[in-house]
């Protein structure tokens, strides 16, 4: 037995109640009626010191290879709200596969506008497409976007292409955060006829030296990059990382031993991953309340403020 | 603790000692249990020692099992052991099975990637495990990138399970590529699946329940290489009834271990 029996029981009881595994005798909700709310843990959010969450890694619309519970925006929004998410940086799954980026980004903006208090649209830019600069202009000037998302591996270009450097220069100049999606799916489980390796991030260091004012966030990076690599990039420039695909027990604890806490942001990868997986990571790692709050909310907020102010 | 509370204990069917620091195997398990406690996980099944060996020699296999035994004996109320066997060393494996299950505290068998499990060479091990009422947990993956030479697919396990209908098997990782793996094992009611060791991909638990029924699905973490949190999120975050979650999180594992636990006089 680790810890006292009493402590463990209380913690477990609170956990099970909050996740709906037990009937809520005091809350008066019958077990059989707790399908939609059962994985939420408002009590745990309060107990864990997390007041609110900014989720930096969210998608709208459908993944072509399977249907998932939250691939309707209504359901996704409901899930996010139940977990205390106050702002969600939402990209478009259409952007991974479509070539008509104007249409992709327009639909994203329209959908986010229906929940404008929660969803921040993150447009897709494909710098391998002709006239990609117009997509950048549309996203930034017409739609007011501050976050743009790149999929170099799905779109078939390398980070050392001249278009990427041009895009990062434009982003730095206009105060726009660039999110680079390192991978969308474990290569071992990809469809046999649609295999996409992770993004090669080797050119990143050179790009950071050439464009010191650019702000980059790496999404889904942890299977590909070690904390030591991440730290090196963070020392070279304004590089941030989300939590998704961070694995191993106490993953966040171990990550922040190596990289600066202020460069780590909450990211769930909903709807492709279970939101609960990201949320529970915050409980698995023993973090000071101020560190939890920084990762859950403050770092993302400060990041955007920093991008806006240059 | 009330009877109602104990009925909802979360049990984890898939935990390792390799990949976490500790001077002794028991120290490693103690550290793992600290993390497990933070997420309300009450019991863990442990196997394979402090280093991973694809094709362990008889001595390496014995060492791995000694390490697991040392760890679980410090935490008898928190951990069960599964004996790690290598079908390439049949005689030594039978000795290990008898030493740690027949004459020891372990309650299951772990098979990894030394030999594809459809091979008839496994039959004597499975027969002896069945005599002892031990469950057999077989690593299964169907990797888009290609399997190791001795790595079993879920289809391999289906073949083995068809030859041994009285044995309770666990298809570890649901075959990894779970949309294939769940289908492969569906016709064999003596195969359960665990949900661990791959990303917390939305939809896996719903499909497992839809395809196999909640009674054939087990929570596992594959900690410490995987996070207890991400793997638990697959169950707690799934859109399935609360009753199904209770089965997956512990009731199913208690049900399949009950025969051997009763035989060993272990009361829950």
A27, part of any domain: no
CB within 8 Å of B106: residues ≥ 6 apart: B65, B68, B69, B72, B80, B81, B82, B83, B100, B134
Question: Chains A, B: CB contacts under 8 A, how many?
Answer: 172
Whether residue A34 is contained in a domain is answered as no
State the average pLDDT over residues A251-256.
97
- Domain of residue A160 covers 49-308
CATH number at residue A93: 3.20.20.140
List CB contacts (< 8 A) between B237 and chain A. 39, 274-277
Distance from CA of A38 to the nearest CA of B (A): 7
**pLDDT reported for residue A243:** 97
Mean pLDDT, residues A288-306 taken together:
94
Q: What is the predicted pLDDT for the residue at A20?
A: 45
pLDDT digits over A18-42, tens only?
Answer: 444 433 222 222 222 233 333 443 3
Strands (E), chain A: 53-60, 85-92, 119-121, 123-124, 147-150, 177-181, 215-219, 238-242, 264-265
Average pLDDT of span A121-141: 98
Closest to B2 (Cα-Cα) out of A254, A76, A207, A10: A10
Alpha-helical (H) ranges within B49-177 are 58-74, 90-97, 123-131, 154-163
What distance in Å separates residue B91's CA from the closest CA in chain A? 34
Q: Which of A245, A283, A286 is the closest to B229 by Cβ?
A: A283
> What is the tens place of the pLDDT at every residue in B163-219?
999 999 999 999 999 999 999 999 999 999 999 999 999 999 999 999 999 999 999
| Counted domains in chain A | 1
Q: For B134, what's the count of Cα atoms within 13 Å in the CB-facing half-sphere? A: 31
On whether residue A3 sits in a domain, the answer given is: no
pLDDT, greater one: A42 or B7: B7
Least confident of A50-54, A118-122, B80-84, B214-218: A50-54
C-alpha distance from B43 to closest chain A C-alpha (Å): 10
pTM of this prediction? 0.92
d(CA A96, CA B219): 32
For chain A, percent of residues with pLDDT exceeding 90: 81
B144 interface with A at CB cutoff 8 Å: yes
- Residue A13's pLDDT band (cuts 50, 70, 90): very low
Beta-strand relationship, A264-265 and B10-15: unpaired
Q: Is residue B1 part of a domain?
A: no
Terminal Cα-to-Cα distance of chain B (whole angstroms): 13
Q: Give domain status of residue B99, yes or no.
A: yes
Residue (of B189, B198, B176) closest to B216 by Cα position: B189
The mean pLDDT value of chain B amounts to 96
CB-neighbour burial class of residue A47 (10 A; exposed 0-12, middle 13-18, buried 19+): middle
- B219: contact with A, CB 8 A cutoff: no
Q: Give the distance from residue B11's alpha carbon to the nearest chain A alpha carbon, in angstroms.
A: 12
Domain count across chain B: 1
CA angle B180, B185, B191 (to 5 degrees): 140
User: Distance between CA A220 and CA A120 in Å, rounded?
Assistant: 19
Residue B4 located in a structural domain: no
pLDDT of A217 over the 70 cut: yes
What percent of chain B has a predicted confidence (pLDDT) above 90?
96
Per-residue pLDDT of A31-84, as tens digits, reads 222 333 334 433 343 445 577 999 999 999 999 999 999 999 999 999 999 999
Q: Does residue A10 fall inside a structural domain?
A: no
Sheet of A264-265, strand order: A123-124, A147-150, A177-181, A215-219, A238-242, A264-265
Question: Where does the pLDDT of residue B122 fall: very low under 50, low under 70, confident under 90, or very high at 90 and above?
Answer: very high
Tell me the CATH number at B210: 3.20.20.140
Q: How confident is the model at residue A204 (pLDDT cuts 50, 70, 90)?
A: very high
Percent of chain A with pLDDT over 70: 83
Within a domain: A29: no
Residue B123 has pLDDT above 60, yes or no: yes
Q: Which chain B residues are within 8 Å of A31, Cβ to Cβ?
A: 242-243
In a domain, A103, yes or no: yes
Query: What band does B1 get if pLDDT is binned at 50, 70 and 90?
Result: very low
Q: What is the pLDDT of residue A309?
A: 60
Contact A67 B198 (CB under 8 A): no
A152-171: average pLDDT: 98
What mean pLDDT value characterizes chain A? 87
Q: In which residue are the tokens 């410490």 written?
A: B224
Q: How confident is the model at residue A308 (pLDDT cuts 50, 70, 90)?
A: low
The answer to whether B76 faces chain A, any CB pair under 8 Å, is: no
Is position A91 within any domain?
yes
The pLDDT score that the predictor gives to residue A26 is 27
| Residue B145 domain-assigned (yes or no) | yes
- The CA distance from A223 to A207, in Å, is 22
Average pLDDT, integer, range A76-104: 97
pLDDT confidence of A306, banded at 50, 70, 90? confident
Query: Which residues in chain B are closer than 8 Å to A185, comparing Cβ atoms?
Result: 199, 201
């Amino acid at each position: 037995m680790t810890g006292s029996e009493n402590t463990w029981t209380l913690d477990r009881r609170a956990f099970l109640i909050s996740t709906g595994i037990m009937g809520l005798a005091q809350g008066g909700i019958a077990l059989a009626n707790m399908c939609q709310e059962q994985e939420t843990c408002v009590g745990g959010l309060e107990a864990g010191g997390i007041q609110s969450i900014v989720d930096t890694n969210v998608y709208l619309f459908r993944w072509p290879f399977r249907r998932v519970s939250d691939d309707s925006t209504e359901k996704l929004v409901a899930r996010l709200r139940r977990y205390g998410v106050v702002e969600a940086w939402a990209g478009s799954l259409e952007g991974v596969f479509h070539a008509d980026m104007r249409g992709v980004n327009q639909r994203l903006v329209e959908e986010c506008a229906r929940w404008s208090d929660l969803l921040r649209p993150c447009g897709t830019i494909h710098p391998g497409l002709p006239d990609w600069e117009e997509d950048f202009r549309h996203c930034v000037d017409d739609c007011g976007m501050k976050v743009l998302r790149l999929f170099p591996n799905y779109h078939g270009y390398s980070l050392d292409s001249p278009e990427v450097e041009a895009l990062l220069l434009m982003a730095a100049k206009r105060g726009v955060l660039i999110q680079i999606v390192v991978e969308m799916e474990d290569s071992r489980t990809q469809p046999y006829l649609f295999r996409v390796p992770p993004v090669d991030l080797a050119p990143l260091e050179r790009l950071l030296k050439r464009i010191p004012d650019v702000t980059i966030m790496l999404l889904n990076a942890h299977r590909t990059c070690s904390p030591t690599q991440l730290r090196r990039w963070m020392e070279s420039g304004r590089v941030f990382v989300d939590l998704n695909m961070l694995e191993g027990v106490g993953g966040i604890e171990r990550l922040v031993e190596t990289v600066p806490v202020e460069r780590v942001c909450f990211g769930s990868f909903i709807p492709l991953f279970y939101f609960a997986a990201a949320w529970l990571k915050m409980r698995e790692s023993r973090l000071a309340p101020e560190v939890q709050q920084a990762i859950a909310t403050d770092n993302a907020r400060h990041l955007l403020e920093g991008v806006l102010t240059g | 603790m009330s009877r109602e509370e104990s009925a909802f204990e979360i049990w984890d069917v898939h935990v390792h000692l390799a990949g976490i620091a500790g001077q002794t195997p028991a120290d490693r398990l103690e550290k793992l249990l600290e993390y497990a406690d933070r997420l309300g996980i009450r019991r863990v099944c442990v196997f394979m020692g402090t280093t991973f060996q694809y094709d362990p020699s008889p001595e390496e296999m014995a060492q791995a099992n000694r390490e697991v035994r040392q760890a679980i004996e410090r935490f008898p109320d928190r951990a069960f052991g599964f004996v790690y066997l290598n079908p390439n060393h049949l005689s030594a494996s039978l000795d290990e099975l008898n030493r740690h299950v027949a004459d020891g505290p372990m309650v299951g068998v772990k098979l990894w990637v030394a030999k594809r499990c459809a091979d008839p060479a496994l039959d004597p091990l499975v027969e002896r495990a069945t005599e002892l009422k031990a469950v057999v947990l077989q690593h299964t993956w169907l990797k888009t990138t290609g399997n190791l030479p001795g790595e079993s697919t879920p289809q391999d396990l289906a073949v083995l399970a068809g030859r041994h209908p009285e044995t309770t098997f666990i298809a570890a990782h649901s075959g990894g590529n779970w949309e294939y793996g769940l289908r492969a094992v569906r016709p064999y009611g003596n195969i359960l699946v665990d949900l661990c060791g791959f990303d917390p991909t939305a939809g896996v638990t719903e499909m497992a329940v839809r395809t196999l029924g909640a009674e054939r699905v087990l929570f596992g973490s594959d900690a410490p290489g995987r996070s207890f949190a991400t793997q638990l999120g697959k169950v707690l975050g799934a859109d399935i009834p609360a009753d199904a979650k209770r089965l997956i999180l512990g009731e199913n594992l208690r049900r399949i271990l009950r025969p051997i636990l009763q035989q060993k006089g272990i009361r829950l």
